[in-house]
Amino acid sequence: MKLKHFSFLFILLCFFFSCKQNETSKPTVKQELLIDLSKLNNEIVHFQKLVKNNSPQKEIIEQFKKSRLAYKKVEWAIEYFIPETARFMNGPALDEMELEENRSFEPHGFQVMEEIIYPEYNPESKEDLTRELNIFQSNIKQLESTFEVITVSDDYVLDAIQQNVFRVVTLGITGFDSPILQSSILETGQSLISIPKTLEKINTDNKSLSELRELTKKAQQYCTENNNFNAFNRAIFITEYLNPISKKLKDFQKQENIQNVKKNSPLKSTIGTLFDKDAFDVNGFVLSKEYDFTKEKAVLGEKLFYDKSLSKNNDRNCATCHNPEKAFTDGLKTNVSLTGMNLPRNTPTLTYASLQNAQFWDMRQLDLEKQSVDVIQNKDEMHGSIENINAKIQVDKEYVKLFLKGYPKTSKPEAWQIQNAIASYVRSLNAFDSRFDDYMRGNKNALNNEEIEGMNLFMGKAKCATCHFTPIFNGTVPPSYSKTEHEVIGTPNEASGKSLSPDKGRYLYNKMPQLIGAFKTPTVRNAAITAPYMHNGVFKTLEEVVSFYNKGGGVGLGYEVENQTLPFDKLNLTVKEEKALVAFMKTLTDKKYQ
């Protein structure tokens, strides 16, 4: 009996410790990342062997796709924790520029490889492809070393996964990171199916986790069954899959009592979806805390905006060129100087201007404060003086009262506060209440079939959303929204398209050849009422703009634009598709202008 009792006890203890061992041996999020990086490395090693052995193009392309799928499993962590390395693993095949130091770095990674192997792989490019694979493998080793030493806590995991869902919305399904091969749809499924597998490391019994498993499984199935890039219905996919996944992630976070990550970002960490009305925080682009937006500052700024005493001759205010009835544009081909002379550039809208970190067409100023003083003191535009304006304000009782409300810690108005107040008013001009917004928030009747087709074209075949990023539709790159891009599109000098615009754009301030003819990517929101278009106002209608892009930009028109960043192949949009695209852009008009 004693022997039997001892045997039973021994078996029970073995079972207990075996269970405990299984519990402790379950990989953590960090360990799982390292395992997935190892799998990615294996795919790259196989890729290298195929290239070395001069394998057929079909095998090389298939292995390229497999390697990208392996990357998509860990992209959420790489992009979030080590973005500097991610840029050279799956960034655009364009030079990375550090304008402060006036230098550039050549691109590396999947998009460079894609250009080498597709649409036709030339064996003479073997050396270049081998080089890219070797660099990629070195970056994997760097990632492994970094992940081994950094802390990957639950709050950062949730934030990183949520950002990756936003990355899928804005960059994934638009083809931003697979512009030639267009393998984005199947890769999207891989990105999403990885979500519950990662969250299991936090808690396997969470109610929202089982719902996330079902949602991501259905999303992946939708991608598999509808993997044609041009035909993919992004309107359905975002509203019926991505937005619900995003909301469910927030539910998981609340149930696990995981705090939001505190960070200075234009995208709020509290939002349920990317299309929430209050998803963006204008303070994400301010200089420092004392410049933060407040309603009191905006009220003061509005008064200053319409005050003609800001100009030298008291005959012009900000609204002279930024008419609120025209979504804060002037409707002219190009702006007009104080003396009636035509200036070289078109007046851009101020709506949503606060959601970018570069102002003016040539991006010469990084914030709205500098933008306002630049215009006020420009001899052709207002020819005023901030110092003189401040002197007038200090003896104006109504102004002083408003300044004390906007800046309660100050004893009297200061010059920087004038700039900040005007900028604060501009920061109040983001409505996010168009029919497109209504649709993305669940109102299925907000858009008709033609407009939905236009949305799918905008985010797909027409490639508009690879530069005008959803949902701001300007060049501020998601999901971190920390950088605003320029583009070189080869804009003509006249509508007939006989010659290229001579305006050098950003090159005038940064003498780098890549920047010749580079201009800021403006928002498409309110575009229906902000004609004419382009930096020189060359196109009068949205139809003309779409036609220009459809032809492949400046290169498509026959100009020599060696540094054109816009794809110069024809888009091959039909007349019906061009019409639908314009119809969609008109749904981006704020309600006050409808």
Which residue range forms the structural domain that includes residue 53?
24-152
Average pLDDT value over all residues in the chain: 94
* CB 565, CB 97: distance < 8 Å: no
- Average pLDDT on 231-259 reads 97
pLDDT value of position 99: 79
| Alpha carbon distance, N-terminus to C-terminus of the chain | 89
CATH number at residue 88: 1.20.1420.20
- Could you give the CA distance from residue 456 to residue 464 in angstroms, rounded to a whole number? 10
Instruction: Look at residue 529 and tell me if it is in a domain.
Output: yes
Last residue of a domain, one of 135, 152, 169: 152
108 three-class SS: coil
Instruction: Look at residue 68 and tell me if it is in a domain.
Output: yes
Among residues of the chain, what percentage have pLDDT more than 70? 96
Cis peptide before 196 (omega within 30 of 0): no
Buried b (16+ CB within 10 A) or exposed e, 250-266: bbbbeebebeebeeebb
pLDDT value of position 263: 87
pLDDT value of position 18: 44
Single out the residue of 90, 85, 105, 92 nearest to residue 512, CA to CA. 105
Say if residue 516's pLDDT is above 90.
yes
480 in the same domain as 403:
no
Instruction: Look at residue 315 and tell me if it is in a domain.
Output: yes
146 in the same domain as 160:
no
- Could you give the CA distance from residue 266 to residue 280 in angstroms, rounded to a whole number? 5
194 in the same domain as 114:
no
Say if residue 222's pLDDT is above 90.
yes
Banded model confidence at residue 264, pLDDT cuts 50, 70, 90: confident
121 in the same domain as 177:
no
* CB 286, CB 278: distance < 8 Å: no
Say if residue 443's pLDDT is above 70.
yes
Banded model confidence at residue 4, pLDDT cuts 50, 70, 90: very low
Say if residue 11's pLDDT is above 80.
no
Banded model confidence at residue 27, pLDDT cuts 50, 70, 90: confident
For the stretch 425-441, pLDDT in tens is 999 999 999 999 999 99
- Average pLDDT on 469-482 reads 96
Tokens representing 45 are 């090693």
544 in the same domain as 485:
yes
Which residue type does 277 have?
Answer: K
209 in the same domain as 197:
yes
3-state secondary structure 373-402: HHHHHCCCCCCCCHHHHHHHHCCCHHHHHH
For the stretch 275-329, pLDDT in tens is 999 999 999 999 899 999 999 999 999 999 999 999 999 999 999 999 999 999 9
225 in the same domain as 314:
no
- Could you give the CA distance from residue 111 to residue 95 in angstroms, rounded to a whole number? 12
Say if residue 458's pLDDT is above 90.
yes
- The total number of structural domains in the chain stands at 4
Which residue type does 585 have?
Answer: M
- List all residues 6 or more positions away from 448 whose beta carbon is below 8 Å from its beta carbon: none
CATH number at residue 452: 1.10.760.10
In the chain, the largest separation of any two C-alpha atoms, in whole Å, equals: 111
Instruction: Look at residue 490 and tell me if it is in a domain.
Output: yes
537 in the same domain as 416:
no
Say if residue 542's pLDDT is above 50.
yes
Say if residue 262's pLDDT is above 70.
yes
- Could you give the CA distance from residue 191 to residue 185 in angstroms, rounded to a whole number? 10
- Average pLDDT on 357-374 reads 95
Tokens representing 492 are 């003509």
Banded model confidence at residue 26, pLDDT cuts 50, 70, 90: low
Say if residue 77's pLDDT is above 80.
yes
Instruction: Look at residue 488 and tell me if it is in a domain.
Output: yes
Tokens representing 396 are 């104006």
pLDDT value of position 568: 85
pTM for this model (two decimals)? 0.93
For the stretch 151-195, pLDDT in tens is 999 999 999 999 999 999 999 999 999 999 999 999 999 999 999
For the stretch 29-60, pLDDT in tens is 999 999 999 999 999 999 999 999 999 999 99
pLDDT value of position 25: 57
